[in-house]
Protein backbone atom coordinates (compact mmCIF):
# COMPACT_ATOMS: atom_id res chain seq x y z
CA UNK A 1 0.00 0.00 0.00
CA UNK A 2 1.45 3.40 -1.05
CA UNK A 3 1.94 6.08 1.54
CA UNK A 4 1.36 9.50 -0.13
CA UNK A 5 3.28 11.31 2.62
CA UNK A 6 6.30 9.07 2.04
CA UNK A 7 6.14 9.62 -1.72
CA UNK A 8 5.90 13.42 -1.32
CA UNK A 9 8.79 13.43 1.15
CA UNK A 10 10.89 11.33 -1.24
CA UNK A 11 10.16 13.76 -4.09
CA UNK A 12 11.13 16.73 -1.91
CA UNK A 13 14.38 15.04 -0.84
CA UNK A 14 15.21 14.14 -4.46
CA UNK A 15 14.57 17.71 -5.57
CA UNK A 16 16.68 19.06 -2.72
CA UNK A 17 19.52 16.68 -3.60
CA UNK A 18 19.44 17.84 -7.23
CA UNK A 19 19.51 21.49 -6.17
CA UNK A 20 22.47 20.86 -3.86
CA UNK A 21 24.30 18.90 -6.57
CA UNK A 22 23.78 21.70 -9.11
CA UNK A 23 24.96 24.24 -6.59
CA UNK A 24 28.07 22.23 -5.78
CA UNK A 25 28.85 21.78 -9.49
CA UNK A 26 28.47 25.51 -10.06
CA UNK A 27 30.78 26.24 -7.13
CA UNK A 28 33.42 23.82 -8.45
CA UNK A 29 33.16 25.29 -11.94
CA UNK A 30 33.43 28.82 -10.57
CA UNK A 31 36.47 27.88 -8.49
CA UNK A 32 38.06 26.24 -11.53
CA UNK A 33 37.46 29.37 -13.57
CA UNK A 34 39.04 31.51 -10.88
CA UNK A 35 42.12 29.31 -10.93
CA UNK A 36 42.33 29.55 -14.69
CA UNK A 37 41.70 33.29 -14.63
CA UNK A 38 38.88 33.22 -17.17
CA UNK A 39 35.61 33.76 -15.32
CA UNK A 40 33.70 35.45 -18.12
CA UNK A 41 34.06 32.82 -20.82
CA UNK A 42 33.34 29.99 -18.36
CA UNK A 43 30.13 31.69 -17.26
CA UNK A 44 29.04 31.74 -20.88
CA UNK A 45 29.64 28.02 -21.12
CA UNK A 46 32.49 28.46 -23.58
CA UNK A 47 34.73 25.82 -22.03
CA UNK A 48 36.94 25.34 -25.09
CA UNK A 49 37.67 29.05 -25.45
CA UNK A 50 38.27 29.28 -21.70
CA UNK A 51 40.87 26.52 -21.80
CA UNK A 52 42.55 28.06 -24.83
CA UNK A 53 42.85 31.42 -23.08
CA UNK A 54 44.19 29.76 -19.93
CA UNK A 55 46.82 27.82 -21.92
CA UNK A 56 48.06 30.92 -23.77
CA UNK A 57 48.03 32.96 -20.56
CA UNK A 58 50.12 30.29 -18.84
CA UNK A 59 52.73 30.47 -21.60
CA UNK A 60 52.84 34.27 -21.72
CA UNK A 61 53.11 34.77 -17.95
CA UNK A 62 55.72 32.12 -17.20
CA UNK A 63 59.03 33.53 -16.03
CA UNK A 64 62.17 32.32 -14.30
CA UNK A 65 61.95 32.20 -10.49
CA UNK A 66 65.15 32.00 -8.46
CA UNK A 67 63.96 32.50 -4.88
CA UNK A 68 61.82 29.91 -3.12
CA UNK A 69 59.89 29.52 0.11
CA UNK A 70 60.88 26.90 2.65
CA UNK A 71 57.97 24.71 1.61
CA UNK A 72 58.15 21.23 0.06
CA UNK A 73 56.51 20.48 -3.26
CA UNK A 74 53.76 17.88 -3.02
CA UNK A 75 54.36 14.45 -4.55
CA UNK A 76 51.23 14.80 -6.67
CA UNK A 77 52.53 18.00 -8.24
CA UNK A 78 55.91 16.44 -8.96
CA UNK A 79 54.21 13.59 -10.81
CA UNK A 80 52.01 16.02 -12.75
CA UNK A 81 55.09 17.94 -13.91
CA UNK A 82 56.81 14.72 -14.96
CA UNK A 83 53.73 13.57 -16.85
CA UNK A 84 53.67 16.91 -18.67
CA UNK A 85 57.37 16.57 -19.49
CA UNK A 86 56.87 13.10 -20.94
CA UNK A 87 54.01 14.38 -23.11
CA UNK A 88 56.54 16.36 -25.18
CA UNK A 89 57.18 15.60 -28.85
CA UNK A 90 60.04 13.21 -29.51
CA UNK A 91 61.74 12.12 -32.74
CA UNK A 92 60.48 8.71 -33.92
CA UNK A 93 58.84 8.44 -30.49
CA UNK A 94 62.15 7.33 -28.99
CA UNK A 95 61.50 9.18 -25.71
CA UNK A 96 65.25 9.26 -24.93
CA UNK A 97 64.80 11.01 -21.61
CA UNK A 98 65.38 10.24 -17.98
CA UNK A 99 64.46 12.48 -15.05
CA UNK A 100 66.26 12.50 -11.71
CA UNK A 101 64.08 14.00 -8.98
CA UNK A 102 66.11 15.45 -6.11
CA UNK A 103 64.47 16.48 -2.83
CA UNK A 104 67.22 15.51 -0.39
CA UNK A 105 68.82 18.69 0.98
CA UNK A 106 72.25 17.10 1.20
CA UNK A 107 72.14 16.00 -2.43
CA UNK A 108 70.88 19.44 -3.48
CA UNK A 109 73.83 21.00 -1.64
CA UNK A 110 76.26 18.66 -3.42
CA UNK A 111 74.69 19.48 -6.78
CA UNK A 112 75.04 23.20 -6.02
CA UNK A 113 78.81 23.06 -6.02
CA UNK A 114 80.29 26.40 -7.11
CA UNK A 115 78.84 29.02 -9.39
CA UNK A 116 75.75 31.15 -9.81
CA UNK A 117 73.14 28.44 -9.33
CA UNK A 118 74.59 27.35 -5.97
CA UNK A 119 72.35 29.38 -3.67
CA UNK A 120 69.28 28.54 -5.73
CA UNK A 121 69.87 24.82 -5.32
CA UNK A 122 70.71 25.06 -1.63
CA UNK A 123 67.56 27.03 -0.86
CA UNK A 124 65.14 25.16 -3.13
CA UNK A 125 63.04 22.16 -2.05
CA UNK A 126 63.25 20.40 -5.40
CA UNK A 127 65.37 19.96 -8.50
CA UNK A 128 64.65 17.81 -11.53
CA UNK A 129 67.65 16.90 -13.66
CA UNK A 130 66.54 16.34 -17.26
CA UNK A 131 68.80 13.83 -18.98
CA UNK A 132 69.21 12.15 -22.33
CA UNK A 133 69.65 8.37 -22.28
CA UNK A 134 71.85 7.44 -25.24
CA UNK A 135 70.71 3.82 -25.03
CA UNK A 136 67.20 4.99 -25.91
CA UNK A 137 68.25 7.58 -28.49
CA UNK A 138 68.49 7.15 -32.25
CA UNK A 139 71.74 5.77 -33.63
CA UNK A 140 74.22 7.61 -35.82
CA UNK A 141 73.92 11.33 -36.43
CA UNK A 142 70.26 11.20 -35.40
CA UNK A 143 71.38 10.53 -31.84
CA UNK A 144 71.74 14.30 -31.40
CA UNK A 145 67.95 14.61 -31.54
CA UNK A 146 68.02 13.75 -27.82
CA UNK A 147 68.87 17.42 -27.20
CA UNK A 148 65.73 18.61 -28.97
CA UNK A 149 63.54 15.98 -27.32
CA UNK A 150 64.73 16.73 -23.80
CA UNK A 151 64.53 20.48 -24.44
CA UNK A 152 60.86 20.10 -25.41
CA UNK A 153 60.29 18.04 -22.27
CA UNK A 154 61.97 20.73 -20.16
CA UNK A 155 59.70 23.46 -21.53
CA UNK A 156 56.64 21.32 -20.76
CA UNK A 157 58.00 20.86 -17.24
CA UNK A 158 58.43 24.61 -16.76
CA UNK A 159 54.91 25.37 -18.03
CA UNK A 160 53.39 22.70 -15.80
CA UNK A 161 55.22 24.13 -12.78
CA UNK A 162 53.83 27.58 -13.52
CA UNK A 163 50.31 26.24 -14.00
CA UNK A 164 50.53 24.52 -10.60
CA UNK A 165 51.45 27.74 -8.81
CA UNK A 166 55.15 26.88 -8.57
CA UNK A 167 58.20 28.79 -9.68
CA UNK A 168 61.06 27.27 -11.66
CA UNK A 169 64.27 28.14 -13.47
CA UNK A 170 66.12 26.25 -16.22
CA UNK A 171 69.85 25.99 -15.46
CA UNK A 172 71.92 24.66 -18.34
CA UNK A 173 74.33 21.72 -18.14
CA UNK A 174 75.03 20.32 -21.60
CA UNK A 175 77.41 20.92 -23.39
CA UNK A 176 79.49 22.54 -20.60
CA UNK A 177 81.52 19.52 -19.55
CA UNK A 178 82.53 20.93 -16.18
CA UNK A 179 78.84 21.31 -15.30
CA UNK A 180 77.38 18.06 -16.54
CA UNK A 181 80.26 15.89 -15.33
CA UNK A 182 79.80 17.32 -11.82
CA UNK A 183 76.11 16.41 -11.92
CA UNK A 184 76.89 12.94 -13.27
CA UNK A 185 79.37 12.32 -10.46
CA UNK A 186 77.02 13.53 -7.70
CA UNK A 187 74.10 11.47 -8.96
CA UNK A 188 76.11 8.38 -9.94
CA UNK A 189 75.06 8.46 -13.59
CA UNK A 190 76.42 6.02 -16.18
CA UNK A 191 78.29 7.40 -19.19
CA UNK A 192 75.28 6.71 -21.40
CA UNK A 193 73.10 9.25 -19.54
CA UNK A 194 73.79 12.93 -20.24
CA UNK A 195 72.33 15.78 -18.14
CA UNK A 196 70.84 18.45 -20.38
CA UNK A 197 69.79 20.78 -17.58
CA UNK A 198 68.68 21.06 -13.98
CA UNK A 199 65.27 22.62 -13.36
CA UNK A 200 65.12 24.16 -9.90
CA UNK A 201 61.56 24.28 -8.53
CA UNK A 202 59.66 25.49 -5.49
CA UNK A 203 56.97 27.80 -4.24
CA UNK A 204 58.05 31.28 -5.38
CA UNK A 205 59.35 33.81 -2.87
CA UNK A 206 59.50 36.50 -5.55
CA UNK A 207 57.21 37.68 -8.34
CA UNK A 208 59.38 38.67 -11.32
CA UNK A 209 57.64 40.45 -14.17
CA UNK A 210 57.51 38.40 -17.39
CA UNK A 211 59.58 39.90 -20.20
CA UNK A 212 57.87 40.92 -23.43
CA UNK A 213 59.98 39.12 -26.01
CA UNK A 214 57.73 39.81 -29.01
CA UNK A 215 59.88 41.21 -31.84
CA UNK A 216 58.36 41.22 -35.34
CA UNK A 217 61.83 41.77 -36.84
CA UNK A 218 62.67 38.19 -35.85
CA UNK A 219 60.06 36.86 -38.31
CA UNK A 220 60.33 36.22 -42.04
CA UNK A 221 57.51 35.14 -44.37
CA UNK A 222 58.02 32.59 -47.15
CA UNK A 223 61.68 33.60 -47.61
CA UNK A 224 64.39 34.75 -45.19
CA UNK A 225 64.29 38.50 -44.76
CA UNK A 226 60.87 38.92 -46.36
CA UNK A 227 58.40 40.94 -44.31
CA UNK A 228 54.67 40.43 -44.16
Which has the higher per-residue pLDDT, 40 or 139? 139
Half-sphere exposure of 152 toward its Cβ, with a 13 Å CA cutoff? 14
pLDDT tens digits along 129-159: 999 999 999 999 999 999 999 999 999 999 9
DSSP states of 19-41: HHHHHHHHHHHHHHHHHHT-HHH
41 and 54 Cβ atoms separated by less than 8 Å: no
Report the pLDDT value the prediction gives residue 19, as an integer from 0 to 100: 36
Report the pLDDT value the prediction gives residue 45, as an integer from 0 to 100: 59
| Nearest in space to 82 (alpha carbons), one of 199, 167, 203 | 199
pLDDT tens digits along 172-219: 999 999 999 999 999 999 999 999 999 999 999 999 999 999 999 999
DSSP tag of 222? S
Amino acid sequence: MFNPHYINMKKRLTTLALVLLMGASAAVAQNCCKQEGCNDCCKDGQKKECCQKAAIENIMTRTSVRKFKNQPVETEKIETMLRAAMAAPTAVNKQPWHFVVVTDKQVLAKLAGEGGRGNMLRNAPLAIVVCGDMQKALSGKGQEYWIQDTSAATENLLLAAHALGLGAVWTGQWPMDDRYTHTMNVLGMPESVKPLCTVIIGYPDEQPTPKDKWKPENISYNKYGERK
